[in-house]
Amino acid sequence: MPTVFQKGSIFYAQKGSYFEGNVKIEGDFVVPPHTHFWGRLYVTGNLELGPRSSVALDIDCFNAIIGSQCRVKGPITAHGDVTVLDHAAVHSIKAGGKVILRPGVNVGDVTCGDTIVVHGHIKSGNLVGKNMKVLGD
């Protein structure tokens, strides 16, 4: 089983870890690059998923930052904001706050309670929010 360690109120995974089954973190979770989850990822606080990491099923968290070139094969449910960085692939997003989608993102349907901000070209399903901002080409 990979190691998760705690500093203050923040939990950290070891770089390059593989987690089998579901993972539940009571607090904030910082995930380094190349870390892979074969089940669900449940985080009561904020999630920072490092570049080129993957989650096989769904993510449930408060706020999420999904690193560049990540793959999330299930839906992301966030009570707050979600930022998806360049060239990440995400099944779908349901957020209570704002959603930011960076260039090259491939995402299914996005539903949020605030503004959806799109930077550059993305591939997406339906985008549903209170406001929509498209920046760049």
CA 125 – CA 27 distance, rounded (Å): 31
**Which residue type is seen at 9?**
S
What secondary structure letter does DSSP report for 35?
Answer: -
Q: For position 15, what pLDDT does the model report? A: 83
Cite the beta strand spans of the chain per DSSP E.
Answer: 4-7, 10-13, 18-19, 23-25, 28-31, 36-37, 41-43, 46-49, 54-55, 59-61, 63-66, 71-78, 82-84, 89-95, 99-101, 106-107, 110-112, 115-119, 127-128, 131-135
Dig out the tokens for 86 from the structure. Answer: 């360049």
Pairwise CA distance, residues 137 & 132, whole Å: 15
Percent of the chain with pLDDT over 90: 93
Task: Give, as one character, the DSSP assignment of residue 131.
Answer: E
**pLDDT per residue over 71-125, tens digit each?**
999 999 999 999 999 999 999 999 999 999 999 999 999 999 999 999 999 999 9
d(CA 95, CA 111): 6
- The answer to whether the CB of 46 falls within 8 A of the CB of 61 is yes
pLDDT at 137: 63
